[in-house]
Each structure stands twice: as structure tokens, then as C-alpha cells.
Chains A and B, each alone.
Chain A
Amino acid sequence: MRIGIPRALLYYYYYPMWKVFFEELGAEVVLSSQSTKGILAQGLKYAVDEVCLPVKLSYGHVLELAEQVDFIFLPRLVSVEHRKYICPKFLGLPDMIRRLDKMAPLIDVNVNLYRKNVDLYKAVKKAGSCLTGNKLKIWKAYHRSIVALQKYFRLLQLGLIPEEALAVLENRVKNEPLPYPVELNIAVIGHPYNIYDSYISMNLIKRLRSMGAAVYTAEQVPEKIIKRYAARLPKKLFWTLGQRMLGAASHYLDRPDISGIVHVAAFGCGPDSMTGDLIERQARAMNAPFLNLTLDEHTGEAGVLTRIEAFLDMVRWKQAGVVGL
């Protein structure tokens, strides 16, 4: 049995768990390839107009898998934590995908932890039952998958980006020296599927690193700290990812070793327009260098590069006090 997992959206959070789970049940996991112009073009062609860029991209990933696999794993992610929601476009995704021609059958279990955490196991049981009737086996696979996920999250907290953390988990690490001298620490705040997808983000993280900046992301901040900082808002944010971004940004603004914040938004993302503005206001109030990058399918590399260069110039200039003229 071949199960396809699109390299999109919350793949960047949960892939290690999904992979271990299905492999424990004897399935072969097929991952879609890295995002490319071709994948995006497919996504743009088939997706409905109103969705945001990352959802359009995920269409492309699903389509790449459609004819290679027996099932595509596309859980309906409603909520992944108590009293918080995932964006409604994730909720509708399996239904939007299902109507496509020649689509492989979907495993679209409901993940809704809004009320209680144990509801997760309901989803797990249902997903597992597509492969086996053995409840004990599912239970075991679930526990192994959770262990893998925890290990992955720890690696992310250590400062690895998903690509690097997955390489560690899968024992594919190359022992390379740090390729860049670090002069600055820059926080990059954005949805994981925007900032870690090197195609859609125009290789933002690696670019910053090659320009001498160490990159800090929201995934490196422990949940406890995120919650503490997010609680400063007069009202709770109800998006999991929005809270993570906002809490992490406030945390980094508080840290003297972080020299600036880059906020990455996707064109057409409702929550981004709000959290982005909240972060910008905080940064402004604290006089911290802030850059907003909006990504869409027309984004030219030159524009992004100019903005990053100018931003790093600004940060360095500010630190030196005077431009060395």
C-alpha cells in the first residue's frame, strides 16, 4: 500500500509523525517532491481563485501524487489544540481536493482537538483502520509516531529548520561546518509552510544565512514562552499558527540579541494581514527593525533580494551608529 503525503502546509509540523505511523502499519510513504515552478503552476491551474498561495501550492503537491499512490493522506485539520483553530481553508481542503479529476482516494480524517485532546486518537484510529483491523497495532504505531514527533520538535527548538531536522531523524546528516560567519541574529516570522518552503520563500532562510545572519523562527520558541507572550494581548487569538507567530515575535522583540524581525505573509492570507499588523505595531513601538515580505505567485526574486539587502544594511547601520562614510 502506498500512501502519499503532500509536502505542503502542515507537513512542516507533523510529517515525522505521519510517516512513522503509516510505516509502522506496513505502508510505504510517498512524499511529493520539493516545490517547483511546475508544481505551483499545476496548483494555480486547478485551485479555486479565493484560496491563499500556500493552499494553491498544496494542490500542486497533491496532484503530483495523485497517480502514484493508493491513498493520499490529507487530514481535515480543524483544530490541533484546545480552544484554538487552524485556518478554515485547511478545513475545506480535502473537499476541494476531492472534486478534482483522477484524484486518488483520500484519507481525510477529522482532527479536531478544540474540545479535548483525546479526540486525536479518534482520528488516528480512523486513519489506521484504512490499513489494518488490528487495534493494538494502531495503538502501538500511534505511540511510536508521537515519540518521533517529539524528537522532531526538540530538534526544531534547537534551531534546525525542518529540512535539517528531518535529515537528522532519517540519519541523512552530512557533517558540514557552519558555512557562514554569523554577525547578526534575525527572526523570521511566518507560517511554517511559507518560510520553510525554499521555492515559495525565494530561499529566504538560506539567503539570510549567506548574508551573515543567523535565522531564528517561531518553531524554536518553546510553547510555554509563546503562550506567555501571546497572553499579553487583550483578547486571545484563536488561530494556533497566528498565536505562535505573534508570541514568538513578541519574545524575540524582548531579546536584545535579536537585531530585527522579518515577517513573511502570503498573499491572500487573512490571518497574516492581522497578525502581521499586530507584530509590526509592537516592533514599531519598540523601535526594532521590521520588514514585511508578502509572497505571491508573481513575486520576483529581485524585489525580495533588494528588500532583504536593504533590511540587513539598515540593521547593521543602526548597530554601528553611523554609516562609515
Chain B
Amino acid sequence: MKGYLGIDVGSVSTNLVFMNEGGIIREAIYLRTQGQPIATVQRGLKELADRLPAGTQVRGVGTTGSGRHLAGIIVGADAVKNEITAHAVASLVLVPGAQTILEIGGQDSKIIILRDGVVTDFAMNTVCAAGTGSFLDQQAARLNIPIERFGEIALEAESPVRIAGRCAVFAESDMIHKQQMGCSLPDILAGLCEALVRNYLNNVGKGKEILSPVVFQGGVAANVGMIKAFEKELGLPVQVPSYFDVMGAVGAGLLAREAATKNGRSYFKGFGVAEAKFKAGSFECPGCPNMCEVVEITEGDLVLARWGDRCGKWSNQLSKEKVS
């Protein structure tokens, strides 16, 4: 089999997707990043290599997500793209005609507006994480409910309580207050979903024209309570694609196909990188009061990449070394 590999390294999850040359998804892997992007990517590659038939040929690889540069260096990516473009590309292929993409991940959330198959507008959440998956995760943990059951319990709600969703801290005190008043658990969970949706639409979706078909993706789309809350608030049906939790990786794979076809070759280093010893370290550059935190990725004695320096002192030095 020949195909393309897409890797999405996010703050909470790392996803890998393998698709054949026609763009049909053959394997999808969802892993928790747990703060170790390199090890997680390696683990994912290993698992993927085991699952794929022997002799599988990778024609191209693309990376996306907040760890895209890091992952790109490790695997030798043909395409390194931001999450917005990757998600949009994936939705356009998997849900033809999509006009609105709601994406809620672990620590970020975004909205992408598409018209006639082109991104016309997008927004991402600011530093606040009140409208993201981590918020639900935290509250579920506080209520002692496994996050997987969050949605189904929320569906049992009879009258969802009103919870302030502006700020995760205030929402939590609001929720405690509602608990003490004796509101039922399903009502509180449904209320949380509604609060999150309200916050998302006011914050990220502010001023955007949300038209059907609406696609809901990202890890939080697994939560049926959230789907229902979105449908109720928007008054529109909300579709969740079958690969909703790995859409970024799907997009990265599709972009890799484009890039590798254009270049006529792939820079993929092979599944062997799963065994290689990579090390990521950082140091504070003492050169000026900016005190940039410079990240350095090494494989054995070889420095693969450096970034984080504003002036380019460390990263440029490296590209010169490479040339010589």
C-alpha cells in the first residue's frame, strides 16, 4: 500500500492518520500528548507501523498543531501547516459543502467560516481557556465523572441550570453554588455544556455568520451534550464527521499529498525514527535582556533544529552549519 501520513501534535492529544493515495483513511490513532510531544509522536509511529501491512510506502508526511515544527523536524515533514488550514482542508474533503467549522480542542478552540470551498474568515480563542476541552475535563474531574460519560449524563437533563461561562473560575464557583442548592447532576452538566457553547459563540464566534452545514470537530465533539447544546443555541443541525477527533491530522495528510506531489519526492525519514533518540532541551540566551528561551532538538550529537530566538542568532547559525 502507498499513502500519506498526517500528524497533528496538539496540547492535549497527538493524532496520526494514514490515508491511501485516493485520500481514503486507513488508520487513525489518537494518543494523549501528556506533555511529551516527541515520545508521543514516536509511540504513534510505532503503533502505526505495526498496524500497517508490511511494505507500506509513505509517499509524504504532513504535520500540524502547536507542535508541528517539532514533529516536522522529527519525521521529516513535506508540509508543516497551521491548524486552521489543516482543519479546513480536512472538512472540505470529508464534508463537502461545509460552510462553518466549529472546532474545540484541548486548549484551543476555533471557528472557520467557509464559502464556496474557500476559507473566508476564522477566529481562535485568546489566552483564556474557558471555552475549551480542558475546562470540561477539569469540571468532570471535580464532579468525579469520567469525561467519556459526561455527554450521555448531560442528555438526561430536564432543565439545564444557568452557569456563567465567561470564565472557568467563575463557572466553577457558580457550579458549586448550584450543587449546594440541590440541582441534579445531569442538569448541571447540561448547564455546563450550554455555558461553554455560549462562551464559545460570544468569544470565538463573535460576529461570524454561521450557516449550515455546520461541522463540529475536535476532541470535544465526542461529547453528545455539547452537540445538543450547539444545536439548541444555533437552531441548526450540527454534523460530526466520523474522524472528528483526528481532523487536523487528516488535513495534514492531504496537504502532504499536495506538497509531495508538487516536489516529486518526500522527506519522510521512515518509521525508524520511532527508535531514534531525540532530545529536546532549552536554554536561556544571555545575549540581551530579551532572554529568549531557545529550544534545541538533538539526535545524538547532531543538532537538528533550534528556535525561539528573536534575533535568529541561534537558528541562523544552524542553517549555516548545515550548508557547509
Contacts and interface: CB of A to CB of B under 8 A. Distances in A.
Interface of A: 36-39, 199, 203, 280-281, 284, 287, 289-290, 292, 294, 296, 298-299, 301-303, 305-307, 309-311, 313-314, 317-318, 321-325
Interface string B217-243: 000000000000000000000000000
Nearest to A33: B289
A311 B93 CA distance: 20
Interface of A is mostly: helix
Q: How large is the interface on B (under 10, 10 to 19, 20 to 34, 35 or more residues)?
A: 20 to 34
A64 to B, nearest CB: 10
A284 B84 contact: no
A302 B66 contact: yes
A38 B120 contact: no
Contacts of A310: 82-85, 119, 122
A325 B93 contact: yes
Interface string B240-275: 000000000000001001100000000000000000
A305 B288 CA distance: 23
A267 to B, nearest CB: 9
B89 A323 contact: yes
Given A38-B290, A302-B66, A322 B82 contact: no
B294 interface: no
B120 A36 contact: no
A325 B254 contact: yes
Interface of B: 66, 81-85, 89, 92-93, 117-124, 126-127, 207, 254, 257-258, 288-291, 308, 310
Contact of B118 (A296, A299, A321): A321
Nearest to B89: A323
B93 to A, nearest CB: 7
Nearest to B288: A36
> Is chain B's binding surface mostly helix, strand, loop or mixed?
mixed
Contacts of A37: 289-291
Contacts of B117: 322-323
Contacts of A306: 66, 82-84, 124
Given A37-B291, A303-B124, A313-B84, A325 B258 contact: yes
A305 B123 CA distance: 14
Contact of B124 (A287, A290, A298, A307): A307
A290 B92 contact: no
Contacts of A322: 117-118
B291 A318 contact: no
Nearest to B92: A323
B84 A290 contact: no
26 contacts: A36-B290, A38-B290, A38-B291, A199-B310, A203-B310, A280-B207, A281-B207, A289-B121, A296-B127, A306-B82, A306-B83, A310-B83, A310-B84, A310-B85, A310-B119, A313-B84, A313-B119, A314-B84, A321-B118, A323-B92, A323-B117, A323-B118, A323-B258, A325-B89, A325-B254, A325-B258
Nearest to A298: B127
Contacts of A301: 308
Given A302-B66, A325-B254, A325-B258, A199 B290 contact: yes
Given A36-B289, A310-B84, A317 B124 contact: no
Give the residue among A305, A310, A313 with the most B Cβ atoms within 10 A: A310
A298 B288 CA distance: 20
A294 B93 CA distance: 32
A309 B118 contact: no
